[in-house]
Chain A
């Protein structure tokens, strides 16, 4: 008999405020601030540090019993004052938690009061407020809420349209961010990428302690987002009413170009074609070369992986993009699973893969790792593709795991993994092929030295 399932067991998602803190880390001179218990900030710091290996300071309004009864206004204002004094930020990224949302703190009003009480001539940091109750959605929703709130707070309508694009690349690795920026620069397309934590979460050594690590998208650059000629936004399930590009389109008429994460040749082609169109420049030769090498590698490696069966899990947008990529190289994603629950997972995969055989490919949202493990026992995949949190089931069921995305807590260098574009696809392809080769080599009694 199948067990009833109410509790979440080994969650395949994180909570809303984590995503917001991560996004706020991508704004220059910004301190993320959680309005809630001390533990929220500390746990999230610890979780992010274990992946990024960088100092991640997140302030907290540190609720106590009185705060919970009488409201968080006093603590929040004191906290803002202290953070301003100690960190000297230009921006404070304020995200709420289940606690402050449930007691019903009116954060915008508290911020107005604060600004009134402490305005004394000296410049005050810009306050961005994102509503991120942990009982709604998951970390990815917090991420998008913070990005949208940032743009809604900072962007203004310029005098005239500029030949610039905004790019909202979703929750991707610092290495991916650097690559996207490099591409846009190569196309000579002035751009505003948000959030840019490529340096704040993967930076160099310090000679002094930086209150806030160098890097991030400057507030002044974000301000100009309203006068850009277009926005590019990655994330198949990210809909305009929840997105930064959606906001800019409705508020300032900035055209929103929306697409899934560019993973695989087809998706990357769509991205490069779009940038080509927006910049009016042909694809630079070095990316054509990247593409050629990738197609060549597909040929060289295709037999190792054809008809291999994979389970892919993680944030819905990552799963959707990976599913299309796996199908493009002949791997069957026997289960596409996410802890997220936008309600769009199936629909968006079908859009990308119109000839999808649902008898062969299962799509499930709102799952945890126990669900995925139960499926794995039946589906018997050749490998798993997803974040580190699949390791428990990988080890228990002796199924190899290819680590991608976030978090990667049990391997080194997760922040430097590429996933996007021709370069990221190449890296993923090489890693998948090598995983299969290694398995085969280890399993063989002969000890082949050429594979």
Chain B
């Protein structure tokens, strides 16, 4: 009955496969011993406690989908468009992150260029401080950035360059903030990279004037303006009469970050990456924060209502929020029904970077009639996974820091029609003949906000319902 993993029992496709004697799943794919604590299947009836093992470094040899500390820092700081981003190390780290994200800017685009000290063997032997210094001086002179972020890569952690001292010196000479980012790849996980980025941002926050900032003001944190999403969100809040002091870091500007402490509330999306900064700002400047998500009707609406509730002494803000939601939902709802009609009953697998996004995606998928059979993330914590367990249907696989072999196994076993992930997950879906939605850095169409929900539904529809899958082996196509 091995074929039943791929075709519903008694389906014509299955009969055909059996007739042909095609044994599609030839052998059981197991979970590595060191990873068994990171995979969980929600079982029926039991009031179980999820004891998932997470927040640890990836198992050696497991082909994790995660990157490194450097990656965490790079994704958070990357969208600051008028800063210089200099990667200190051999060429790879800078080359692979050149213009890597669709984080768009309304003005300067310095972030889309790739700068590296491109260390060679001699630099590794004699130290790279001089090269770093010269690079900074010439790049700042040429590109006139508002600030510079200097990313340490693995090798800097070994050869012991004092990048703090170089940054200090250059900052003094050039008059702009030059901020070291301690993102040596091996010193932890991607999450530690988020923290290192927040530490650098925190050094900028508080250095600008906060004169004239409204008491009804927010910073939008953890929104990176992929495909212009931050602009959509910003517009909603501004329509409600709220001043947006800074977006961190989507369409980011150094000067805006410097005066971010003038806002009275931090609104944090992608909680994994930016909560550190929100907490630090709460501690230092007494600014409260709340966690939000802009994906799907439910969470998007809640993001507006929650902020409005925070400013409860101004009922007009809540009125405006209600108006936005009702107007947008009225527009969106009939459109979604069309997609729901055809997508109802289809199954999705989700594997993304942060666990918080999976919550929104589960709700968004349900609103178009789809169920979720796998939900996983690279960096979720115990609370995240417990919440996932509560949300998920029976039989759903919950997985932390997964890999291609596991993802494929579950996608096939659970008969998913769609995989949601990033570039590295895409070929898994397509090879196995199932639809795919890129919910990661490379997306070109906004998926946040109400319009984003429409785009998301449309993209899912376009991939799941494509006629090309008729030729896929899992649908009985010839191998």
Interface of A with B (CB < 8 Å)?
Answer: 3-11, 13-18, 33, 36-47, 49-50, 53-65, 67-68, 75-76, 78-83, 85-87, 97-99, 102-103, 133-136, 138, 204-209, 211, 389, 392
Contacts and interface: CB of A to CB of B under 8 A. Distances in A.
B96 A43 contact: yes
A63 B404 CA distance: 20
B61 interface: yes
A40 B70 CA distance: 10
B91 A8 contact: yes
A405 B150 CA distance: 32
Contacts of B58: 38, 60, 62
A102 B29 CA distance: 36
Given A14-B91, A40-B68, A46-B96, 16 more contacts: A7-B135, A8-B117, A33-B61, A39-B67, A44-B96, A47-B96, A60-B61, A64-B186, A68-B158, A78-B61, A86-B405, A98-B155, A207-B22, A209-B408, A211-B405, A392-B112
B113 interface: yes
A138 B60 contact: no
Contacts of A67: 186
Most chain B CB within 10 A, of A15, A43, A76, is at: A43
Contacts of A13: 91, 95
B135 A102 contact: no
A102 B121 CA distance: 10
A33 B60 CA distance: 10
A82 B60 contact: yes
B116 A78 contact: no
B431 A7 contact: no
B187 interface: yes
A133 B121 contact: yes
Interface string B23-35: 0111001101110
Contact of B91 (A15, A76, A82, A389): A15
B431 to A, nearest CB: 5
Nearest to B477: A205
B142 interface: yes
Most chain B CB within 10 A, of A15, A58, A83, is at: A15
B424 A46 contact: yes
Contacts of A55: 404, 427-428, 431
Contacts of A14: 91-92, 95-96
Given A38-B66, A205-B471, A53 B427 contact: yes
B121 A11 contact: no
B50 interface: no
A340 B195 CA distance: 36
A38 B96 contact: no
A38 B90 contact: no
Contacts of B64: 38, 42, 60, 62
Contact of A9 (B114, B157, B426, B472): B114
Most chain B CB within 10 A, of A14, A62, A63, is at: A62
B26 A208 contact: yes
Contacts of A79: 60-61
A102 B120 CA distance: 12
B113 A37 contact: no
Nearest to B119: A135
Nearest to B471: A205
A99 B155 contact: yes
A7 B86 contact: yes
A17 B427 contact: no
A211 B405 CA distance: 6
A60 B403 CA distance: 12
Contact of A60 (B60, B90, B154, B155): B60
Given A7-B135, A60-B64, A38 B121 contact: no
B211 interface: no
A68 B186 contact: yes
A37 B185 contact: yes
A82 B477 CA distance: 33
A66 B6 CA distance: 43
A6 B57 CA distance: 35
A331 to B, nearest CB: 29
B412 interface: yes
Contacts of B33: 85
Given A67-B186, A98-B90, A207-B24, A6 B120 contact: no
Nearest to A65: B187
A55 B427 CA distance: 5
Contacts of A86: 30, 32, 61-63, 403, 405
B423 A46 contact: yes
A16 B29 CA distance: 32
B449 interface: no
Contact of B431 (A45, A47, A54, A64): A54
B61 A49 contact: no
B62 A82 contact: yes
Given A15-B95, A65-B187, A209-B409, A57 B63 contact: yes
Given A42-B67, A42-B68, A60-B61, A207 B6 contact: yes
Contacts of B92: 14-18, 40, 43-44, 98, 134
A4 B67 contact: no
B473 interface: yes
A10 B124 contact: no
B427 A207 contact: no
Contacts of B115: 7-9
19 contacts: A6-B138, A7-B134, A8-B118, A11-B91, A14-B96, A43-B71, A59-B61, A63-B154, A64-B57, A68-B186, A78-B60, A85-B30, A98-B155, A102-B159, A133-B90, A135-B120, A206-B433, A207-B473, A392-B113
Nearest to B96: A43
Contact of A135 (B59, B61, B63, B124): B124
A38 B118 contact: no
B118 A7 contact: yes
Most chain B CB within 10 A, of A14, A60, A63, A135, is at: A135
B332 interface: no
Interface in B375-424: 403-405, 408-409, 412, 423-424
B33 to A, nearest CB: 8
A284 to B, nearest CB: 31
Contacts of B69: 39
B479 interface: yes
Given A7-B139, A8-B115, A10-B113, A87 B405 contact: yes
Interface string B100-131: 00000000000011111111110110000001
B89 interface: yes
A38 B431 CA distance: 24
Contact of B32 (A6, A85, A392): A85
A105 B446 CA distance: 46
A43 B61 contact: no
B44 to A, nearest CB: 27
Contact of B185 (A38, A46, A392): A38
B253 interface: no
B94 A11 contact: yes
B432 A82 contact: no
B98 interface: yes
Nearest to B430: A53
A296 B477 CA distance: 42
B141 interface: yes
Contacts of A62: 57-62, 64
B138 A5 contact: yes
A82 B142 CA distance: 48
A205 B70 contact: no
